[in-house]
Amino acid sequence: MKKVKRILATALSIAMLLSASACASVDAKSTSTSTSAAAATEPAASAADTTKTASASGPIKIGLTTVLTGDRSLEGEYASNAAKIVQDEVNSSGGVLGRNIEIVIEDALGTDVGAVNAYRKLAADKDIVAIVGSDSSNDNIAISSSVQEAKILTTGQGSSPKLMEIANSNPWLFQLRASDQTLCAALVKYAVEEKGLKTFAIVHDTETASADQARLFTEALATYGITPSVVVPFTSGTKDFSSHIAQIQNADVDGIFAACFHTEAAILLQQLRALDIELPVFGSNAFGDPVTIGLAGDASNNVYSVTAWVPNTTNPKGAAFSAKYTELYGDACAKSAAQIYDHISLICEAIKIAGTTDRQAVRDAMATIDNYQGAITTYDCTTNGDCGRGGLIVQVIDQVPTIVKELYSEKAK
Amino acid sequence: MKDTLTENKPVLTLSKVCKNFGGVVAADNISIEMFGGQTFGLIGPNGAGKTTLLNLITGIYSSDCGQIHLNGKNITKAPTHKRALLGIARTFQHPRLLERCDIQTNIQLGIDLANKRRRKNPQQLQSEITMLLGYAGLKNVNLSDSVEKLSYGQRKMLEIVRSLLSEPAVLLLDEPAAGLNSKEMEYIVALIKVAIEWDIAVLLIEHSMDLVMGICDQITVLNFGHQIASGTPAEIQENQAVIDAYLGGSGHAAC
Amino acid sequence: MIQRLKSLNKPLLLVAAVIAVIGSIFIPSITSSYMLRVLNITMISYLCVLSVYVLLGMCGQNSFAQAGLWGVGSYITANVMMKLGFPTLIAFAASTLGTALFAFVLGFAFFRLRQYYFTFASVGLMAILSGLFMNWKEVTGGAMGISDVPDFSIGGFIANTESSMYFVIIIVCVIVSLLMKVLFKSALGRSFMAIRDNEMAANCLGVNSLLTKSIAFAISGALCGAAGALYANLTGYLSYQSFTYQQSTMYLVMIMLGGTVSPVGAIIGTFIISLLQEWVRPLQNYMQLIYGVGIMILMIVQPEGIIGGGKALYERYVNRKQARSDIKQSL
Amino acid sequence: MNLQLLISGTTMGIVYGLIAMGMVLIFRSVGVMNFAQGEFLMVGGYFCYTFNQILHLPILVSLLLASLLMGVVGVVFMRTSYWPLRKAQTKAIIVSAMGASIALKEGARLTWGAIPVSVDKVIKGTAKIGTATVQWQYLSIIGISVVLMIFVYILLEKSFIGHIMQATAQDQYMASLVGIPVIVSIGLTFALSAIITGIGGGLLAPLFFLSNTMGAASGAKAFAAIVIGGFGSVPGAIVGGLIVGLVESFGGAYISTTYQLVLIYIVLVIVLMFRPQGIFGERIQEKA
């Protein structure tokens, strides 16, 4: 199925590139064909048609904004796959309130304007009961004012403390994720107390989440009276880390705290190990992610990472989902996918409790949910921010993230 | 309306101006004096450095040595737009108009320059425009048409009209008659007459001898950047060096 | 001939304008807040595209730094309102003039560069600005950006809803468009076009290239600054994600698509591209692909832009008509 | 440390130089900057990935096959996004190239997915140079790049095809008058450019990993390299590349890692201010 889709896509793109050379008449044709093809190969495409009128018997619509296209489209691939799984799963088990659910996906484009437009388009559809925001604190903060306006239950995937503040002051926005504050603190605790390391370097992407995590690492270290010997920031898309590594070497430290996304993480690890720097690396969630491990290969061994999710999780619900994902799509199931699974399940749960699809009722129902067992962890939505409880500290051994410590954090207040 | 002052005081003086590109001498110690209300011919075979001299006067090239004075003001170092403001107007061998604008705008551009010195009163301006367009044979073109609609000759006329409207002290015409038919030649002559009427010093680069000999008060002949002769048309026609330059091996005139 | 046709068009245009005005007044009451936001953003982009029109369309200078200037405007507003606590109008003025000044000074440095060297410098400027937007914590709030920028307000009137902001923006757009018309007819505008069509001839007509180009860049800066101020007030959240090189290229695409010959081109281009972005949403995964190919095809079909192409057609039609009438007369 | 920086700076520099060279070839032949060059890098990388990881061919074979395919891509790209607009103003060509680059990015994502992937290294492991360590992959990149550069030089200066290309680059109309089929010659140039850049992509994949957006970053730096080195000059592109690479590594180590990219562009602007034509370029004199 997937292969076919991809081959078709290639054929299409080439066909259209060629058609571009021909005259306008070709334009109409090629566009229309590709549209239909898109609809055929992309179930969600038909779902995006928001012109259907409301009806009690029709499916319950849940919105999902994610980055399908453009620079951050990795997130979207996982999200839309996961959305399909959870949609089928719920519907095959009798749906919610006896009705099927339908997940309407809009593309956040990886820009503020894109995120807001996508969100508002979903919110404008009266049938949509709740919306899952995209996997970026920036996007979630960007939409927060629209959330106030739209008065519809919205779950944010971002993990930054800033988002937590905003969520706590916004009754409609829930941050269904452990705030980095708790997780980063836990990793520092582990490195200092259980590994007994004294001096650290911090290397981080200046992009929002990573910059935040770096700040939190520093703050947590301060509680042990440790100030990082050197802090080395870099911009997203950095390919050559020699100057960064040089600074770390000069500082000569016991351990490295690192915060960035998959590609940068993998490149950083590879270049570190290539220079025979075997220092322990304590990384943000990306460092324990299958994508990073797949890229970095052996270089990812003996890397510690604080994350909420590993594909080989012990949590039965998570394990089942992870297995299903891999079976359907071939790749290992990443955090972004599991997150969508939990968000949608939680929303369905809220709808069940509310017993209606009235937006206000669903929102109130959400606020009553406490220690709900999801695929990633348990959730406590009694306050809007920092709802995901617990996390994991994993060590990568033979390219497999192995849990060395399970965390259950109290809510950050 | 000529006054005696400008009669004996040169408007534009080039003293020992020289320029060379790499080894090639484009202008070698050229000295010229131009008077208001007179036409000054500049002739010579192709590549004699006529256009270069124009570029030196307008400041597109900076001269290697020598000095240029306009109404006693030294403008040797002044940038092109300054010189234009001080009253040096020119046309180009191939007309350079605002290709993507209408004729009105092109004319207006000349008036803008005049306005930068002092505002003109509208009625007088309007009459001037109609008169000049009349002389230029552009009487019945539509001012709101794009210049793309004009013929090559008409463009050249328009360019001259534009420079005249900018009320220059000196008007430099670079081969205005090249590629024009006899009718259009007459327009050129008419326009130059207007310039003289307005007490403008006209510098005329031209290959068409009849035109030059017919209209110029003074003529200078250039060859390979050297000033080989100067004088009245009559003197020039007698001058042996000139005849050699034209008939001898060193290049030949276009006409 | 054309004169007559134009005069024939006059009443039509008037009617069209009236319809447009009435229509635009009623739009907020009939559209969703989603569509309204799209329109607001589109109109803000229109201001930025106008800035490209002034610089490229009128003065013939191509810049890739417009989104950067837009960002400068936004961050000025955010800082003036939040850190210094000034009211909207002052912030708006500060953004407009501040960005204009910024652009003017840079222009004075960059326009010593001829032809496409300026374009290169502008690419550099854009990269430098986006680097600052992302990392200069004190001013731009770093990557996290600045949230909760206050709403637009004058005296008692606070534009805290989408529709009220819609009217604010549309008023600014109309005023700016009229100013564009004035500029186009002014001596300054003519000197821009003189430089565009032939810089040397322009100099010989007393136009100071460096100064004039810098002024053009300053005006485009002012437009971007105004757009930035409105954007900050509208969304209340600024982050580096918005002010990117890609955004600058989008503005270029918009003006090229609409046609660089007149502000109308800017309007058409902006609306086509912005709305296309939203129309292709149902294609989900494929939207950007179609979008990209769409741009290519449009460019190939209308290299002069839609207005340019339209103008050509119109003139051909006029000429045909003229020719026919001439033949008639000759018979 | 400095030796380390020098070596990594140089290697990165050569890489940028390689991409820049591809851009310069196109610029010289059609006088327009190709805004989709970075995408050539990406597509080349993915072709290499397809042969190497999906069809499990040895890396060198994959590189060869990928480069052949890239030749085709180059021609198709020329035919679709340049040729129809060859008579239009250059801005139109730039815009259509931008459209093409979006289309290529998205096409690649739809074909190969958004999850970044990698390919085999030509030579695994690391080598020691004095106190510095460098991955063999870098060294092989330098090796192959140098070979490619020499190849391009010979092709352009010594071969018949090269002369055809140069003639067309100098004056398309004249070239067509003396019976050179312009479309063929331009097509060849695009193909050559795509091949060079594509191979670059294949070689970089194991170091920087493949994603549909990898083109942009490298493209930007290659652009800086061209401007610094001198527009339209092949040696300029390479020297510019080296400068960018060194500024990146040393600037990062001694000035600021946050503003690495900014530093490069500050250098670019400074160079423009004092020598607009770049180091090797010759200034374009405006004709009076």
- DSSP-assigned states of every residue in A126-187: TTEEEEEPPS-HHHHHHHHHHHHHHT-EEEE----HHHHHHHHT-TTEEE-S--HHHHHHHH
CA angle D65, D71, D75 (to 5 degrees): 150
What is the DSSP code string of C134-145? Answer: HH-HHHH-GGG-
Give the pLDDT mean for B211-226.
Answer: 87
Q: Is residue A29 situated within a structural domain?
A: no
CA distance D232 to chain A (A): 26
Q: Is residue A238 situated within a structural domain?
A: yes
**CATH superfamily entry for domain B4-247:** P-loop containing nucleotide triphosphate hydrolases (3.40.50.300)
pLDDT per residue of chain C (331 residues) written in tens, 0 to 9: 444 445 555 677 778 788 888 878 888 878 888 999 999 999 999 999 999 999 999 999 999 999 999 999 999 999 999 999 999 999 999 999 999 999 999 998 888 877 778 888 898 999 999 999 999 999 999 999 999 999 999 888 888 888 899 999 999 999 999 999 999 999 999 999 999 998 999 999 999 999 999 999 999 999 999 999 999 999 999 999 999 998 999 999 899 888 888 888 899 999 988 888 888 888 878 888 888 898 888 888 888 888 877 777 777 787 787 778 777 777 6
Structure tokens at C16: 């069209």
Name the amino acid, one letter, at A262.
Answer: H
Do A243 and A302 belong to one domain? yes
Question: For residue B61, which residues of chain D lie inside 8 Å, CB to CB?
Answer: 288
Cα D51 to Cα B5, D66, D77, D213: the distances in Å are 89, 8, 22, 20
Record: contact A105-C41, CB cut-off 8 A: no
A67-102 pLDDT, tens per residue?
998 888 888 999 999 999 999 999 999 889 989 999
The rounded distance, in Å, linking the Cα atoms of C33 and C166 is 10
Do A173 and A186 belong to one domain? no
Nearest residue, CB atoms, B109 vs list C1, C190, C196: C190
The answer to whether A286 touches A260, Cβ cutoff 8 Å, is: yes
The separation between the first and the last C-alpha atoms of chain B, rounded to the nearest angstrom, is 36
Q: Is residue A167 situated within a structural domain?
A: yes
How many Cβ atoms from other residues are within 10 Å of residue A222's Cβ?
A: 12
Do A303 and A190 belong to one domain? yes
Is it the case that residue A49 has pLDDT exceeding 50? Answer: no
Q: Is residue D125 situated within a structural domain?
A: yes
Taking a contact as any Cβ pair under 8 Å apart, which residues of chain C between 211 and 230 contact chain B?
A: none
Q: Is residue D201 situated within a structural domain?
A: yes
Structure tokens at D92: 């139109």
* CATH code of residue A189: 3.40.50.2300
- What pLDDT, on a 0 to 100 scale, did the predictor assign at position C211? 95
What's D117's DSSP letter? B
Domain count, chain D: 1
In the structure, what pLDDT confidence band is assigned to residue A7 with cuts at 50, 70 and 90?
A: very low
Record: contact A124-C35, CB cut-off 8 A: yes
In the structure, what pLDDT confidence band is assigned to residue D191 with cuts at 50, 70 and 90?
A: very high
The answer to whether C294 touches A31, Cβ cutoff 8 Å, is: yes
CA distance B247 to chain C (A): 35
Q: Which residue has the higher pLDDT, C306 or B159?
A: B159
Q: Domain spans of chain C?
A: 1-30, 36-279
pTM: 0.88
CA distance A121 to chain C (A): 5
- What pLDDT, on a 0 to 100 scale, did the predictor assign at position C231? 96
Domain enclosing residue A137, as ranges: 60-177+314-382
The rounded distance, in Å, linking the Cα atoms of D114 and D110 is 8
The answer to whether C81 touches C149, Cβ cutoff 8 Å, is: yes
A touches D, CB cut-off 8 Å, minimum 3 pairs: yes
Question: For residue D288, which residues of chain B lie inside 8 Å, CB to CB?
Answer: 51, 55, 60-61
The rounded distance, in Å, linking the Cα atoms of D115 and D131 is 36
The answer to whether A247 touches D257, Cβ cutoff 8 Å, is: yes
Record: contact D103-A73, CB cut-off 8 A: no
What's A311's DSSP letter? T
Is it the case that residue A18 has pLDDT exceeding 60? Answer: no
Mutation for A interface: D2, D104, D111, D135, most A CBs within 10 A: D111
CA angle A56, A60, A64 (to 5 degrees): 155
Strands (E) across C49-176 are located at 152-154, 157-159
Taking a contact as any Cβ pair under 8 Å apart, which residues of chain C between 22 and 61 contact chain D?
A: 56
Q: Does D258 touch chain C (CB under 8 A)?
A: yes
Partners of B43 in the beta sheet? B221
In the structure, what pLDDT confidence band is assigned to residue D288 with cuts at 50, 70 and 90?
A: very low
Q: Does C183 touch chain B (CB under 8 A)?
A: no
Partners of B18 in the beta sheet? B65
Q: Does C188 touch chain B (CB under 8 A)?
A: no
Q: Is residue A21 situated within a structural domain?
A: no
Mutation for C interface: D81, D91, D228, most C CBs within 10 A: D91
Q: Does C289 touch chain D (CB under 8 A)?
A: yes
- What pLDDT, on a 0 to 100 scale, did the predictor assign at position C10? 65
Taking a contact as any Cβ pair under 8 Å apart, which residues of chain B between 51 and 80 contact chain D?
A: 51, 55, 60-61
Of D234, D261, D47, give the one whose Cα is nearest residue D145.
D234
Q: Is residue D280 situated within a structural domain?
A: no
What residue has token string 């440095």?
A: C109
Structure tokens at C324: 């026919």
Q: Is residue A64 situated within a structural domain?
A: yes
Interface size between A and D, measured as CB pairs under 8 A: 131
Percent of chain B predicted with pLDDT > 90? 18
Of A80, A175, A58, A40, give the one whose Cα is nearest residue A125.
A58
Do A273 and A340 belong to one domain? no
Using CA coordinates, name the residue in chain C closest to B54. Answer: C204
The rounded distance, in Å, linking the Cα atoms of D269 and D275 is 10
The rounded distance, in Å, linking the Cα atoms of A15 and A94 is 42
Q: Is residue D218 situated within a structural domain?
A: no
Of A324, A319, A323, give the one whose Cα is nearest residue A375.
A319
Using CA coordinates, name the residue in chain C closest to D96. Answer: C296
The rounded distance, in Å, linking the Cα atoms of C193 and B142 is 20
The separation between the first and the last C-alpha atoms of chain A, rounded to the nearest angstrom, is 47
Taking a contact as any Cβ pair under 8 Å apart, which residues of chain C between 185 and 244 contact chain A?
A: 235-239, 241-242, 244
Domain C36-279 in this protein, CATH class: mainly alpha
Q: Is residue D138 situated within a structural domain?
A: yes
The answer to whether B132 touches B163, Cβ cutoff 8 Å, is: no
Give the pLDDT mean for A121-147.
Answer: 91
Which of A258-272, A357-371, C164-178, C270-284 comes out lowest in average pLDDT?
A: C270-284
Q: Does C327 touch chain D (CB under 8 A)?
A: no
The rounded distance, in Å, linking the Cα atoms of A258 and D231 is 39
Record: contact D91-C56, CB cut-off 8 A: yes
Listed in sequence order, the DSSP H helices in B16-93 are 50-58, 80-86
The separation between the first and the last C-alpha atoms of chain D, rounded to the nearest angstrom, is 53
Partners of A101 in the beta sheet? A60
What is the number of H-type helices and E-type strands within chain C?
14, 2
- What pLDDT, on a 0 to 100 scale, did the predictor assign at position C331? 65
Give the pLDDT mean for A7-18.
Answer: 44
How many Cβ atoms from other residues are within 10 Å of residue B71's Cβ?
A: 16
Partners of chain D (3+ Cβ pairs below 8 A): A, B, C
The answer to whether D171 touches D17, Cβ cutoff 8 Å, is: no
Interface size between A and C, measured as CB pairs under 8 A: 151
Partners of chain A (3+ Cβ pairs below 8 A): C, D
Instruction: Work out the mean pLDDT of chain A and round it to a whole number.
Output: 84
Domain enclosing residue D118, as ranges: 2-213
The rounded distance, in Å, linking the Cα atoms of D186 and C32 is 51
Q: Is residue A7 situated within a structural domain?
A: no
B touches A, CB cut-off 8 Å, minimum 3 pairs: no
CA distance C70 to chain A (A): 14
CA distance A94 to chain C (A): 28
Give the phi and the psi of residue C37 in degrees, each rounded to 5. -65, -45
Q: Does D89 touch chain B (CB under 8 A)?
A: no
Give the pLDDT mean for B88-95.
Answer: 90
Burial of B139 (0-12, 13-18, 19+ CB in 10 A): exposed
Q: Per residue in A300-337, is it b (16+ CB within 10 Å) or e — as a string?
A: bbebbbbbbbbbbbebebbeebbebbeeebebbbbbbb
Record: contact C296-D80, CB cut-off 8 A: yes
Cα B145 to Cα B105, B139, C185: the distances in Å are 10, 13, 16
Nearest residue, CB atoms, C253 vs list D80, D95, D268: D95
Question: For residue C289, which residues of chain D lie inside 8 Å, CB to CB?
Answer: 102-103, 106-107, 110
Using CA coordinates, name the residue in chain C closest to B109. Answer: C190
Record: contact A243-D248, CB cut-off 8 A: yes
What's B177's DSSP letter? T
What's C186's DSSP letter? S
Listed in sequence order, the DSSP H helices in chain B are 4-8, 50-58, 80-86, 103-117, 122-135, 152-165, 182-197, 209-215, 233-238, 240-247
In the structure, what pLDDT confidence band is assigned to residue B236 with cuts at 50, 70 and 90?
A: confident
Q: Does C30 touch chain A (CB under 8 A)?
A: no
What's B24's DSSP letter? E
The rounded distance, in Å, linking the Cα atoms of B102 and A157 is 58
Q: Does C261 touch chain B (CB under 8 A)?
A: yes
CA distance D85 to chain B (A): 20
Q: Is residue A32 situated within a structural domain?
A: no
Record: contact C135-D258, CB cut-off 8 A: yes
Do A193 and A279 belong to one domain? yes
In the structure, what pLDDT confidence band is assigned to residue A190 with cuts at 50, 70 and 90?
A: very high
Record: contact C299-D96, CB cut-off 8 A: yes
The answer to whether D237 touches D58, Cβ cutoff 8 Å, is: no
Question: For residue C283, which residues of chain A lie inside 8 Å, CB to CB?
Answer: 34-35, 38, 45
The rounded distance, in Å, linking the Cα atoms of D204 and D83 is 30
List all residues 6 or more positions away from A338 whose beta carbon is below 8 Å from its beta carbon. A82, A309, A318, A321, A322, A375, A376
Name the amino acid, one letter, at B24.
Answer: V
Do A274 and A398 belong to one domain? yes
Instruction: Work out the mean pLDDT of chain B and round it to a whole number.
Output: 85
The answer to whether B49 touches B26, Cβ cutoff 8 Å, is: yes
Q: Is A52 helix (H, G, I), strand (E, B) or coil?
A: coil
